[in-house]
């Protein structure tokens, strides 16, 4: 999982990426050092809340890109968890989406990672 996040972070414009549950709790992250984890988890919780409420009213929605003045946040709902990528608003979004898809495709075929995702989901459901 770490390798996948590292691969995403290698893309120009990506500031950090993480996997969290619906409560915003990070169980795997690749963000610059010195980040206040509780603050980031709090932001995650709000973002995921916003995302899931939008997703409920728009069936089939599984990703969203939120633009802020200095950063953009890409949120992708995986089966049990969420992938959050923080990047510059001018990022090549197609390249980011393809890179994420490559990583997820690898995760999908890795039973160990799937087990971790399920564990994270059931522990917090």
Contacts with other proteins by CB under 8 A lie at 10-11, 50, 53-55, 57-65, 67, 76, 89-90, 92-95, 97-99, 101-102, 104-106, 108-109
Least separation in angstroms between CB 123 and other proteins: 26
CA distance 43 to 64: 15
Alpha carbon 31 to chain centroid distance? Answer: 12
Asked if 94 and 30 count as a contact pair (C-beta separation under 8 A), the reply is no
Least separation in angstroms between CB 63 and other proteins: 5
CA distance 64 to 103: 18
Q: Which one, 36 or 57, has the nearer CB to other proteins?
A: 57
Q: Which one, 35 or 66, has the nearer CB to other proteins?
A: 66
């Amino acid at each position: 999982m770490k390798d996948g996040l590292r691969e995403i972070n290698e893309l120009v414009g990506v500031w950090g990426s993480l996997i969290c549950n619906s409560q915003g709790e990070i169980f795997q992250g690749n963000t610059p050092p010195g980040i206040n984890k509780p603050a980031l988890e709090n932001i995650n919780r709000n973002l995921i809340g916003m995302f899931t409420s939008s997703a409920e009213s728009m069936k089939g929605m599984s990703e969203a890109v939120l633009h802020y003045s200095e950063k953009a946040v890409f949120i992708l709902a995986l089966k049990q968890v969420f992938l959050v990528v923080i990047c510059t608003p001018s990022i090549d979004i197609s390249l980011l989406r393809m890179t994420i898809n490559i990583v997820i495709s690898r995760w999908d075929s890795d039973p160990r990672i799937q087990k971790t995702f399920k564990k994270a989901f059931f522990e917090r459901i």
